[in-house]
Amino acid sequence: MRGEGTLRAGFLLAILFLAALYTYIAFTELSYLSSAGRLGPGFMPRIIGVALVAMCALSLHADAKHRGAEHSVAPGWRSAAVLALLSGVLVALLEVLGGLVSMMVFMGAALWILNRGRPLQNVLIAVLLPVGTHVVFAVWLKASMPRGMLPFLS
Amino acid sequence: MDIFSNLLIGLSVALTPVNLAFLFAGVMLGMVVGIIPGFGPAAGIAILLPITYGMNPTSAVIMLSAIYYGSMYGGTITSILLNTPGESSSVASTFDGYPLAQQGRAGPALVMQAVASFIGGTFGVILITLFTPLFSLVTRSFGPPEFFLLVMMGLMTLIAMIDGNWRYGVISALIGFALGTMGVDLETGQTRFTFGSAEMIGGIDFIPIAIGLFGLGELYYVFYQGMHLEGAGIVQYRKEKRFWPEWRDYVETRFTVVRASILGFFIGVIPGAGATIASLMSYSLEKSLSPTPEKFGKGAMAGLVGPEAANNAASSGAMVPLLSLGLPGSAATAVLLAAFLMWGLTPGPLLMTEKPEFAWGLIASMYLGNMALLALNIFAIPLFVLMIKLPYRILAPAVILICTIGTYSVNGSMLETWLMFAAGLVGFFMKLYGYSPAALVLALVLGPLAEQSLRQTLTISRGSFGIFLERPASIWIMGVTVVILVAGILLYRKRQ
């Protein structure tokens, strides 16, 4: 596993890359003045972009200067990664299976991984919580719920 | 006299059965939001925002505001019983709250924090009642230059008070500003950074961003830190012989609660400062004024009462710029502003005169909400202790589920749901490396206003920045900003 300092620099570099892209678009595609001669759509993005790139570069320089010993990542990183992965799977499933079934699949999988050894409790929660959420949002609030690609599941 | 008649109108609105029911639901939800470590009022309000769609606007805002100030009460229960603050504003309450509980005084500590929170919160609402109409009158003369400077002041204060790397705070705010420029430019109608997507024309809605950053991001961070693996070392308060505080507890802290309430309110009024700063400053103040400072950190009641009164008064104080200027000073009040706008209620100098039943109904509901919270915090403690015992391994998937479905239900947009997930990942890294998700959200909400104000200002002045030095109100705002920045730099150096 890479050290915390390297990952921190990687995160800052990612922001710098996106900031540079944002600034490039601001300068090349958005005009500084409008056709009426007033400040145009590119005025603020140019200021923001330049400031963001400058701050990222300054931070990278300062971090490199004061870089201490590398700390290893916290022990819970594996659980956090599993949780993030499960969240992504839930969002992806919404488009395929629709709201209710996706929620049940997600809760079942998440509890199977995180709450081992309690099958009855897990099944009950994985069914009741999604049904309750569905009733609140779809029935009571009449909010839109993802329908999914499989008509018989929606 | 006008204030009292308006307050009576407000009470008649707040005391309707429907509004009372939603107020009670709000304070209960606020307590729950406050109790869950790593889950703040900003995420709580953002997630519950979609649930209010079918409601009357006044009832909805009364409920969402109650979640905000209710979370200030709830965050302390875990500080005292678990040594884990439910909210950042309850961090100072762990310093003496947990030692008190370890000494067998959990009951008196819980009651005293409830009483202090009630006094601080109610004191804050009284000052809101007096100050908000005054603020509205003063700010009626504000134009684009003042609004631009106020937005900058809020963000600079937030960055100056960050407990960490100020450069990361500036980067966070700039990212928020950058996201705020996406979509149609309102002055020219030209699209910006939409990458050909029709869904992006309306810009980036900040609700998925707020839910992702404060809901998912915080949750991933809690897991990363391994907090879900820790056993619930809850101090048992029912085993104690004495649940109620002794008379000397009230006597010893009578001035503390007054000082902390005043300090907290005025810190809360400053955009960007907030309840956490207020509680920590109150703790430092009480320790420096105490004849026995050595008792602080070992179970001094004043060390618990001060921060509690201060953070509740600050949460009330934060409503003043929100109601009178339409400027949120924190992530939570930024989400509240979004709720106001969603209901077609534009906070600002004219709100008090154009929508008095709404503005005063909200203020009146805060008096009632604080009373309900006092009763809940004393008589429903066993219920909240049960909630503390709810394991993270069950809570986390449930929160993710509600975040995801809640985000989708706002506009029925998969793009926004993916955006929420991405914001969750970014929020995790921001939290991990000391960036400021609050500055990002605040800049995202206020960015369009700042851009519009700056462009209008420069149009008025024909491109000259000298306009900021020509208007007395602008000079005042810049002066206050400089004072706050100097204070922030001094605090930063002291911490170093």
Furthest-apart CA atoms within chain B: distance in Å: 73
Chain B residues in contact with A40 by the CB 8 A cut-off are: 185, 188, 190
- Residue A114: both structure tokens together: 């995180």
- The pLDDT of residue B211 is 87
- The pLDDT of residue B200 is 85
- The pLDDT of residue A154 is 52
Range of weakest confidence among A69-78, A90-99, B74-83: A69-78
Residue B163 has pLDDT above 70, yes or no: no
Give the confidence band of B122 by pLDDT, cuts at 50, 70, 90: very high
Which residue type does A70 have?
E
The pLDDT > 90 percentage for chain B reads 27
Beta carbons of A91 and B401 less than 8 Å apart: no
H-run or E-run covering B181: none
ipTM: 0.91
DSSP state letters, B110-146: HHHHHHHHHHHHHHHHHHHHHHHHHHHHHHTT--HHH
Q: Of B131, B91, B118, B119, nearest to B278 (Cα)? A: B91
Q: Which of B167, B223, B428 sits opposite A59 (nearest CB)?
A: B167
Give the confidence band of A68 by pLDDT, cuts at 50, 70, 90: low
- The pLDDT of residue B35 is 83
Which range scores top for mean pLDDT: A54-58, B222-226, B468-472? A54-58
- The pLDDT of residue B229 is 63
The domain ranges of chain A are 4-65, 77-153
Please give the Cα distance from A57 to B171 (Å, whole number).
Answer: 11
Nearest-Cα distance to chain B for A152, in Å, is 20
pLDDT in tens, B64-82: 999 988 888 888 888 888 7
H-run or E-run covering B183: strand B183-184
Chain A residues in contact with B398 by the CB 8 A cut-off are: 107, 125, 129
- The pLDDT of residue A52 is 96
Beta carbons of A90 and B424 less than 8 Å apart: no
**To probe the interface with B, which of A79, A101, A102 has the most B CB atoms within 10 Å?**
A79
Which residue type does B262 have?
I
Nearest-Cα distance to chain B for A70, in Å, is 14
CA separation, residue A108 to residues A79, A129, B27, B306 (Å)? 16, 11, 31, 45
Mean pLDDT across B364-379: 91
Q: Which of A83, A84, A91 sits opposite B417 (nearest CB)?
A: A91
Beta carbons of A38 and B455 less than 8 Å apart: yes
H-run or E-run covering A104: helix A99-114
Beta carbons of A115 and B181 less than 8 Å apart: no
Selected residue with higher pLDDT from B438 and B271:
B438
Q: To the nearest whole number, what is the mean pLDDT of chain B?
A: 85
Check the CA dihedral B417-A137-B388-B319 and report its sign. Answer: positive
Mean pLDDT across B385-414: 86
Mean pLDDT across B409-427: 91
- The pLDDT of residue B423 is 95
- Residue A64: both structure tokens together: 């490199």
Beta carbons of B223 and A44 less than 8 Å apart: no
Which range scores top for mean pLDDT: B48-52, B228-232, B457-461? B457-461
Chain B residues in contact with A129 by the CB 8 A cut-off are: 398, 401
**To probe the interface with A, which of B394, B402, B407, B428 has the most A CB atoms within 10 Å?**
B394
Mean pLDDT across A60-86: 80
Q: Which of A40, A79, A87 sits opposite B421 (nearest CB)?
A: A87
Give the confidence band of A59 by pLDDT, cuts at 50, 70, 90: very high
- The pLDDT of residue A60 is 92
Nearest-Cα distance to chain A for B408, in Å, is 7
Please give the Cα distance from B344 to B349 (Å, whole number).
Answer: 15
- Residue B221: both structure tokens together: 């961070």
Please give the Cα distance from B108 to B350 (Å, whole number).
Answer: 44
Please give the Cα distance from B14 to B354 (Å, whole number).
Answer: 18
* Radius of gyration from C-alpha coordinates of chain A: 24
- The pLDDT of residue A152 is 60
pLDDT in tens, B284-341: 889 888 888 888 988 899 999 999 999 999 988 888 888 887 878 778 888 888 788 7
- The pLDDT of residue B162 is 67
Ramachandran region, residue B299 (left: φ > 0; alpha: ψ -120 to 50; beta: rest): left
Nearest-Cα distance to chain B for A53, in Å, is 9
β-partners of residue A33 are: A39
Chain B residues in contact with A88 by the CB 8 A cut-off are: 421
- The pLDDT of residue B228 is 63
- The pLDDT of residue B332 is 85
Q: Which residues contact B157 (CB under 8 A, 6 or more apart)?
A: B270, B271, B272, B273, B329, B481, B484, B485, B488
Mean pLDDT across B231-256: 74
Mean pLDDT across B37-63: 82
On whether the CB atoms of residues B365 and B66 are closer than 8 A, the answer is yes
Residue B156 has pLDDT above 90, yes or no: no
Residue B265 has pLDDT above 60, yes or no: yes
Mean pLDDT across B350-363: 84
